[in-house]
Amino acid sequence: MKRHLQLSIKQLSGFYADGSISPRTVVDHSLDDAIKLKRLNAFIRLSPEKALHQAKESDHRYENKEQLGVLDGVPIAIKDNFCTKELTTTCASRMLSNFVPPFNATVCERLANAGAVLIGKTNMDQFAMGSGTVDSIFGPSKNIWSNDLVDKWHIAGGSSGGSATAVAAGICYAAIGSDTGGSTRNPAAYCGVVGLKPTYGLISRHGLIPLVNSMDVPGIFARNVGDCLDVLNAIAGPDDRDSTTIRKPFRKIDMSFNEELDLRNVRIGIPKEYHCEGLSNEVLETWMKVADLLEDSGAHVHQVSLPNTSASIFVYSILNQCEVASNMARYDGIEYGHRAEIESSTEELYANTRAEGFNTVVKTRILTGNYFLLRKNYHKYFEKALRVRRLISEDFKRVFETPKNDENIVDVLLTPTTLTDAPLYNDFVSQSNRDQCAVQDFCTQPANMAGIPAISIPIRLSKRGLPIGLQLMSKSLNEEMLLRVAGWIEQQVEFDCLANEQIYAARS
Amino acid sequence: MQRILQKTRSYCTVLKEVKKNQKIDKPKENKLNFTELKYPSKVPSKPIKQSFPTGEKPVIDNATIQLLERLALVNLESKEALSTLEKSIEFAEKISHIDTTNVLPLYTVLEDQNLYLREDSVTEGNCREDILRGAKVTEEDYFVSPPGNIPLQQKEKDFTDN
């Protein structure tokens, strides 16, 4: 077992600085591990040459005491829907299997400027449409907590399952995913790592290949809350290249975890509608226990109601498919990406390119979105969904800011992230993608509707030995409070992300 | 390396080498007892039932399929895909009863912020080669497409009930 694995990012860069270990060594180990753990299928493509070059440069900076910050020399991974200059970016789809972007996404640029070392691009559901990382042309990602990686293995969750796996397997210290309806928090919960979906607009989407423009945010995976914050501080803030970033300057969040959080000033809400049908007993028990721990330490814990929550999954489904129909129109085979061998007419070329390039899930969502957007249906579905979206968003505003009558105002909401631990692959794929998402996204997509920040943190293992996570949500731009409470819970539950058999098996 | 071990996060247990025959796949003993609560739980013990009306099953006729395929330039692949389409529409019907009188559509959560407009001047350029490199077929400095203004040839679907 490599000892440096257990360090936090701050500790790691501390050791780089005093010379006990070098970025080159750590990056070497990362690349080795990525190959040893290849059967997890976390990566679509590794970038060893670039990584070793970056590590060498980092080595020099530390030698000259010119390091760029805590992320300098830290191995990270990025989901394959973020454009990386001169590095193929596929969205796990045939449509972009040959796409080499001529530019970097802002997130990638800022990480590189902070000295972070990119190990590779991670696996995902095709165009991020899914919640299992099972719909990738490169095959599914496997959950590292599975007892058996051959027949009876569990899904990693999705759609950012590759990024979650890269962190859970100890290959990288952090990874970037994207989150439209839960695509960061869902795999984080299944793989036993921390997954943060920041406030909409806090992190630039420039270079993130869009799924649902009004909900997409870059997400962060890490093995603890402190590491997650270090990455957030490096990438957040306004960007001239994305007009939907919040223009208020981002002040780096500074929280020393040694400083005890006084829970007596913290109000926690338990939204009752999140206990929906299908919630497993173990997840329910975990949710109750953590609420109890908070209350026992002085926090004010109240039950609250978000009455429009249960409608949210339907609204999400409509808006997702409508925006997909519009977003996917750009793939025609002319300027980039896959092009069919048809020269008879433009429309014929477009149609064949798209027939060959997209999988059934993508195609059906495009068709459904077009149905909702037909002139006769536009008001009935699309506009109606946007109106209900306002009701959902106002529910959150009510509990965070403007309570009615004798209702309680709260700072943070505590809910499950997923309804169960990670399903077996065979059980999961027996359902249609549409049914999978309707169940998997129940607790996560409301935060995307309202644009508020949410985080999933691992709490414990289920009887089957799989991680169970819980979700915290707060009002827009209240990341600091969210991370403080998450950090407090993390200390109480002492979940060890790396204590699983597959990691030992691969490295011993 | 010894120093690294000592400084390791206090809440991260130091991993021991595992002997080959030692199984660690069982959940380790939790220090917290998850079945023991000190206070009456604020989490409801029973699921909150939500009922949504089930509407009529939508029927998508052949003409609609052809229209959608022409608009989307995507083919409806199979009977399963058609049934997914119909189920998605049925799923969407569930919000039709919600009262949204006087509720405005929420297009973006940043509706309080004006969209930023920048000066209309070139900030980045000289990237023609980079951009054209992505295309499979180019001629000189142009993208190439086959002849336009020819309607899409559509085949009849045989998996519908029509």
Report domain extents, chain A.
3-47+68-263+414-507
Whether A460 and B32 have beta carbons less than 8 Å apart is answered as yes
pLDDT digit string, tens, across residues A398-447: 999 988 888 889 999 999 999 999 999 999 999 888 788 788 899 999 99
CB neighbour list of residue A372: distance below 8 Å, 6 or more residues apart: A318, A321, A322, A325, A378, A381, A382, B92
**Which of B6, B62, B88, B143 should one mutate to test binding to chain A, selecting the residue with the greatest count of A CBs within 10 A?**
B88
Is pLDDT at B5 greater than 60 in this prediction? no
Is pLDDT at B22 greater than 60 in this prediction? no
Please judge whether A390 and B104 are an interchain contact, meaning their C-beta atoms are less than 8 angstroms apart: yes
Measure in Å the smallest separation between the Cα of A68 and chain B Cα atoms. Answer: 22
Please judge whether A240 and B118 are an interchain contact, meaning their C-beta atoms are less than 8 angstroms apart: yes
pLDDT digit string, tens, across residues A242-272: 999 999 999 999 887 556 789 999 999 999 9
According to CATH, what is the number of the domain A3-47+68-263+414-507? 3.90.1300.10
Torsion sign over Cα A239, A243, A246, A247: positive
DSSP 3-state assignment of A155? strand
Is pLDDT at B59 greater than 60 in this prediction? yes
- Give B75's contacts in chain A (Cβ within 8 Å): 351, 354-355, 363
Please judge whether A367 and B47 are an interchain contact, meaning their C-beta atoms are less than 8 angstroms apart: no
Length of chain B: 162
Is pLDDT at A76 greater than 90 in this prediction? yes
Is pLDDT at B6 greater than 70 in this prediction? no
- Give the rounded distance of the alpha carbon of A138 from its chain centre: 19
Chain A residues 167-226 with CB within 8 Å of chain B: 200-201, 214, 224
- Give A442's contacts in chain B (Cβ within 8 Å): none
Evaluate whether ipTM surpasses 0.90: yes
Alpha-carbon distances of A427 from A66, A139, A153, A465, rounded to whole Å? 52, 17, 10, 17
* Across A85-112, average pLDDT: 97
Annotated catalytic residue A432: no
Confidence of residue A504 (pLDDT cuts 50, 70, 90): confident
Whether A138 and A165 have beta carbons less than 8 Å apart is answered as no
Measure in Å the smallest separation between the Cα of B30 and chain A Cα atoms. Answer: 8
pLDDT digit string, tens, across residues B122-132: 888 889 999 99
Within chain B, residue ranges assigned H as helices are 2-7, 62-72, 79-92, 128-132
Is pLDDT at B28 greater than 60 in this prediction? no
Is pLDDT at A395 greater than 70 in this prediction? yes
Confidence of residue B24 (pLDDT cuts 50, 70, 90): very low
Please judge whether A4 and B35 are an interchain contact, meaning their C-beta atoms are less than 8 angstroms apart: no
Report the C-alpha gap between A349 and A362 in whole angstroms: 18
Annotated catalytic residue A97: no
Annotated catalytic residue A183: yes
Residue B4: which of A296, A6, A186 has the closest Cα? A6
Please judge whether B47 and A277 are an interchain contact, meaning their C-beta atoms are less than 8 angstroms apart: yes
- Give A314's contacts in chain B (Cβ within 8 Å): 52, 91-92, 94-95
* Across A296-323, average pLDDT: 96
User: Touching check for A227 and chain B: CB below 8 Å?
Assistant: no
Whether A273 and A310 have beta carbons less than 8 Å apart is answered as yes
